[in-house]
Amino acid sequence: MGEELSPEQMLELTNDLRGLEKQLRAAMEMSKDGAKPVDLDEPIGRVSRMDAIQQQSMIASNRAASRARLGRVGEALAAIERGEYGACARCEEPIAFRRLKAKPESRLCVACQGASERAR
């Protein structure tokens, strides 16, 4: 398990979360037009239309993943405000700084995340 986060680490992770939030919002904004449904009446070839539909589907999937991650980032920022950030949601042990540095919106420590994935 990890150790309690130092004030410096907490500040660094807070900045990481805010930066990630901005990055995700910018990506969502940039992909907004590509997620619109493909116009089936547009006079393009069948293969081009299939490519356009596939592109639209991939963009929509990426936007859904970004929207979900943005929600987790918001939850992490709220946890910081409540003074609850950095504790595993399952075992309540501190989450290692290295894990939070790699994925600052993490709610579970490595051990609990592994157990959760094996249970699926």
With respect to residue 83, please indicate whether it lies within any of the assigned structural domains.
yes
Domain coverage including residue 74:
7-119
Q: What does the pLDDT look like over 29-46, one tens digit per residue?
A: 988 776 566 565 666 666
The DSSP secondary-structure symbol of 87 reads B
Mean pLDDT across the chain: 89
With respect to residue 94, please indicate whether it lies within any of the assigned structural domains.
yes
pLDDT category of residue 1 using cuts at 50, 70 and 90: low
Strand partners, 87: 94
pLDDT category of residue 62 using cuts at 50, 70 and 90: very high
Q: What does the pLDDT look like over 63-100, one tens digit per residue?
A: 999 999 999 999 999 999 999 999 999 999 999 999 99
With respect to residue 35, please indicate whether it lies within any of the assigned structural domains.
yes
With respect to residue 78, please indicate whether it lies within any of the assigned structural domains.
yes
Q: How many domains does the chain have?
A: 1
Q: How many CA atoms lie within 13 A of 78 on its CB side?
A: 7
Do 2 and 99 meet the contact criterion of CB atoms below 8 Å apart? yes
With respect to residue 113, please indicate whether it lies within any of the assigned structural domains.
yes
User: What's the pLDDT at 3?
Assistant: 86
CATH code of the domain covering residue 29: 1.20.120.910
Per-state percent for the chain, helix, strand, coil, to nearest 5? 65, 0, 30
With respect to residue 79, please indicate whether it lies within any of the assigned structural domains.
yes
With respect to residue 1, please indicate whether it lies within any of the assigned structural domains.
no
With respect to residue 2, please indicate whether it lies within any of the assigned structural domains.
no
